[in-house]
Structure 1
Amino acid sequence: MKKDTVIITRAEYAHLNKAANAAVEHACELFKAAWLVDDLKARIAELEAERDAWFSTYQNLKERTDNYNFLLYKTREQEKEIYRLVEKIN
């Protein structure tokens, strides 16, 4: 039975160990980057939800303001008509 044994020098072992450690560190950095991406995606979703809520509130207020301006315009028209009728009566 033949044994598959590889003999390497200390320098080769140190080099392989350094390469393995670098690979592990790189993998850790990739995991951290993936977590950051997930965190950023979650934050973007939060900001988009806040933006949508703000826009909804803005549209509601704009609609109410437009309605108020329209009612104010109609009230002024009616007021002018009343003054005109009062002048005719007098």
Structure 2
Amino acid sequence: MSTMDLPEPTWSRELRRVRLLSAREAETFALLGAGWSNRSISVRMQVTERTVKAHVARILEKLQVESRLQAGLVALSYRHLNESTVSSEKKAG
């Protein structure tokens, strides 16, 4: 099977786990999806980089993904789904 035959990940299982994140983890998760570095996240959230690294580690564990990149892709998917829902609700209203 070539890489062209592999299905694209939908992240559906990981997206269902987003609700397990604490408020601070969710904030970190959103910033990961926007491509922010640990240093930038720490400045934005007014915490140490060590705290950000701890948040990222817990995000990876809770979402059951292997890397920061995968967590960021899940965050992008999550944001896209929520923006689509909000846009639809605004049009219907």
Shared fold per TM-score greater than 0.5: no
Larger radius of gyration: 1
Q: TM-score, normalised by structure 1?
A: 0.31
Return the structure number with greater helix share.
Answer: 1
